[in-house]
Structures are given as C-alpha cells and as structure tokens.
Structure 1
Amino acid sequence: MTETGATGYDGLLSRLVPEIELRTFLLDCFQISEHELFVSHEDRVAEGLRGIPQEVVFAAFCTYQQVSGHFAMSLSVGIEGRLADRVGRREFAERITARFDAYMLYGDTEPPGVWTVTLADGTHQLAAMDEEDDRILLYSATAPVPGLPEVRVSEELWQWR
C-alpha cells in the first residue's frame, strides 16, 4: 500500500473568516489536536513561529490573507498525507463553504484558466476569473453564482472537463 503524500489545499473564499473560527474549523475538519495545527495571517508567520523549535512539524499549516473583488480571503493549507486521506480537496471545499455560508474557488484537475467553484449548498461548477489591480473577479461560470449577477453564465466551460 502506498502512502499519500503531503499536499496543499489552496483557495479563495467569499467570506472573511476570523482566525479563531478558521482554527476551530480546521481542527474539526481534519480531526487533529491543537498542537498539530498552525494558523497565521500570511504577514505574521515568522512572529507566530517565534519560540517554536525548528524541528516541530505541524500536521496542518495554514496561512491566509485578505483579498478584494469577488473574494474576501485567500487561504493556503498544507497538510500531511494522512489528513488528505481523511478529507479530500473537494470534501474540504464542501465543508468550508457549508460551515461559513460562502463560496470557494480552487484548482484541482481543471485545465489552465478554469477553476472549480463550490457553493455553500455543496454544488460545484466551473468558472473563469481575472485579477485586475489586486482585485480577483469571476467573469464566467457554468451556472449563476449567488450574489454575483454580473458573472456571465457560459455552458462552454463544461467542454474543458
């Protein structure tokens, strides 16, 4: 039997989640202990690690930052393989969007330029986005995105599957 390697779950979330709520979610989601998790704003990682021995390895290591446009925050969660076995990328997106009543954009196996959007109800669709002046904007999706009537619905994105 082969062991699953460490991986990362990166994405953009439509709602800004306070660090304490994000920490609680990650502990519950991956079923890990407090000492196995590191969570920090991207600009404060060094400060957060101060005093922690260099040999300490966290099972989950999460950084986040605020963004603008159709999304409120980006997050990057590096996880050990055993955690990826517990909660896959798609399931992670479903859990976080349901927990925080948000939508999340992330990449998995889509071709370049196409992303998956998971809605709070657990549905998934494909989308295309642009970054303009530090604003991340969806411009096309395979179905309407709640709260974003300006995003064009395009069935053509399904051809990329």
Structure 2
Amino acid sequence: MSGGGYDLLSSRTVEVPELRSFLLDTFAVPETGLFVAPADRVDEELRDVPQDLVFAAFCTFEPVEGHFATTLTVGVDTNRARHVGHLDFATRFATHFKAMVLYGDAEPPGLWTVILADGTRLLATLDEDDDRVTLTTATAPVPELPEVAVDAGL
C-alpha cells in the first residue's frame, strides 16, 4: 500500500454528508472505502469496524478559531484511490465549498498558500496561537479579510 496525505484549513465548516460526497467524487472511491469523522470521535466511530479493514481514504476534521473554521486531514491509499495533487485538492475544496483554504506544500519557510473561493492563489504568513490561526500578511488583498496586511514581496 502506498499513501498520500492532505492537510488544510478551511474558512468554512462543511457538514459530513457534503464532505463525504466531495471526497467520494474527488478520489473516486466506493462508499465503503471512505471514512469521515470528527477527530475526537475516531475511536468511537471505528468501534464496530474490523481492525484489519483499510480504507481507501480516511478523513478527520476538527474546529479551529481565527480566520479559519476547521482543519481537515485526509489520508489516501494511492493504490485504491485516484491520485490528486496537493494544489489540485486544495483548489477543488476551495472552489467547491466556496471557502478560503490554507495549506502548505513547497512554499519557502514561514509562508503558506491561501486559495480563495474563486481559485485565486496567494502566499501568506500566519499567526498561530493554540487552535487560533490568523493570516497576518498576504501577497495580495484577501477580500474577506481587509485587515490582513498586503506585501507583494513575500
């Protein structure tokens, strides 16, 4: 089994049925091959699932504060699920759910990629304090967050 993973922050909380539908479509996995649950309920949700069962895609989420509403973690068995690049996944999520998405892949140290609901990409710096994540600076204006400073030279 080979795997891949995706971590992102979303400005919008997504209900489980909507999230399941999006992940099933994105990774082309069968309903029985997908697990989705809040991070604090994983053990409870898996209580009656055979321990040797391996899901094609496994997603957990939990709330955060600040400019984002939730953090999402997805693990994928790339032998049983469609391969989707990190940027493609984050862009699909942002545009599908009309959310601002933050993720990291190959940015310079200290910078993160922000994808706006229309698919526009920016680089940004963050302030993280416990479960509170706020953008501090971005390479272009963030329409939903006029208080975020703009520095095109990031």
With normalisation by structure 1, the TM-score equals 0.90
| Distance in 2 separating the partners of 1:44 and 1:112 | 33
Once the two structures are overlaid, the 10-residue window that deviates more, 84-93 or 107-116, is 84-93
Instruction: Please say if 1:12 is aligned against 2:13.
Output: no
**Structure 2 partner of 1:64:** 61
| Distance in 2 separating the partners of 1:139 and 1:82 | 39
Larger helix percent: 1
Unaligned residue ranges in structure 1 (runs of 5+): none
1:1-161 matches, within 5 Å, as: 5-82=2-79, 86-132=83-129, 134-157=131-154
Code of the residue aligned with 1:145 in structure 2: it is: V
CA contact (8 A) 1:7 1:84 kept: no
Cα RMSD, aligned residues only: 1.6
- Give the % identical residues: 56
Runs of 4+ that moved beyond 2 A: 81-86
Unaligned residue ranges in structure 2 (runs of 5+): none
| Distance in 2 separating the partners of 1:23 and 1:134 | 24
| Distance in 2 separating the partners of 1:8 and 1:62 | 10
With normalisation by structure 2, the TM-score equals 0.94
